[in-house]
A and B are shown apart, each in its own frame.
Chain A
Amino acid sequence: DAGITQSPRYKITETGRQVTLMCHQTWSHSYMFWYRQDLGHGLRLIYYSAAADITDKGEVPDGYVVSRSKTENFPLTLESATRSQTSVYFCASGRGGPYEQYFGPGTRLTVT
């Protein structure tokens, strides 16, 4: 399928578990982003990547790890999930600069 996809769409996990959220885009966009969306906070950038093997921290990176070995994939890992990481996570891709970002459908993560 063309576009940007995220998996899983819904995930329930326990405190302390490792969780990986997947993101895949088919446009060969150089930039990819991970955001979390929480009520009252809007969208906050967790990590972003300008190209394969280049990643950088956003506003709220603590507790998260990313990698980008291939242009099309940008997984986000919660190394030891905490309840404060309960959120909706959005992946996005784009060409940077004045170009728009294209968002995936989101992953709703609940940490119990």
Chain B
Amino acid sequence: AQSVTQLGSHVSVSEGALVLLRCNYSSSVPPYLFWYVQYPNQGLQLLLKYTTGATLVKGINGFEAEFKKSDTSFHLTKPSAHMSDAAEYFCAVSAQTSYDKVIFGPGTSLSVIP
């Protein structure tokens, strides 16, 4: 069975500081991994995804994430936080052999302090 954990339900960073949102997954088969962002009163939208190939993936708005099979992680980073990055972030996983369902993590709320 697949599962996703996100360490820290709430993260605060200062504007201009590094953003690091943690995601660990469990999957018995090679996974597809996703990060989605949800702005207030909106649906989710894709930030980036890992399917195959290069383990460092770049997404929109300056975010990137690295797939590390050794520690089953897919942490999201951004070098310099902007006020507009304040949102809820969800890590998600689906199995390559059973892609009908995507399992979402509980989410991490990011606050950016001016």
- Give chain A's interface residues, CB within 8 Å of chain B: 31, 33, 35, 40-45, 48, 50, 56, 58, 90, 92, 96-98, 100-101, 103-106
| Chain A binding surface, main DSSP class | strand
Interchain CB contact under 8 A, B101 and A58: yes
For chain B, the count of residues having a C-beta within 8 Å of the partner chain is 23
B27-80 residues at the A interface, CB under 8 angstroms: 32, 34, 36, 41-46, 49, 51-52
Interchain CB contact under 8 A, A42 and B43: no
**Which residues of B have CB within 8 Å of A41?**
106
Other contacts beyond A43-B44, A97-B99: 10, CB < 8 A:
A35-B104, A41-B106, A42-B104, A43-B104, A90-B43, A98-B49, A98-B51, A98-B99, A100-B34, A103-B44
What total of A-B pairs shows CB separation below 8 Å?
55
**Which residues of B have CB within 8 Å of A43?**
44, 90, 104, 107
- 18 cross-chain CB contacts under 8 A: A31-B100, A42-B90, A42-B105, A42-B106, A42-B107, A43-B44, A58-B101, A92-B44, A97-B32, A97-B99, A98-B49, A98-B52, A100-B34, A103-B36, A104-B43, A105-B41, A105-B42, A106-B41
Chain A residue nearest to B45 (CB atoms) is A103
Q: Could you say which of A44, A48, A90, A100 contacts B46, with CB atoms under 8 Å apart?
A: A100
Interchain CB contact under 8 A, A100 and B49: yes
Chain B residue nearest to A95 (CB atoms) is B99
A82 CA to B24 CA, complexed, in Å = 34
**Which residues of A have CB within 8 Å of B45?**
103
Chain B residue nearest to A41 (CB atoms) is B106
B102 within 8 A of A: yes
Interchain CB contact under 8 A, A98 and B32: yes
A81 CA to B7 CA, complexed, in Å = 34
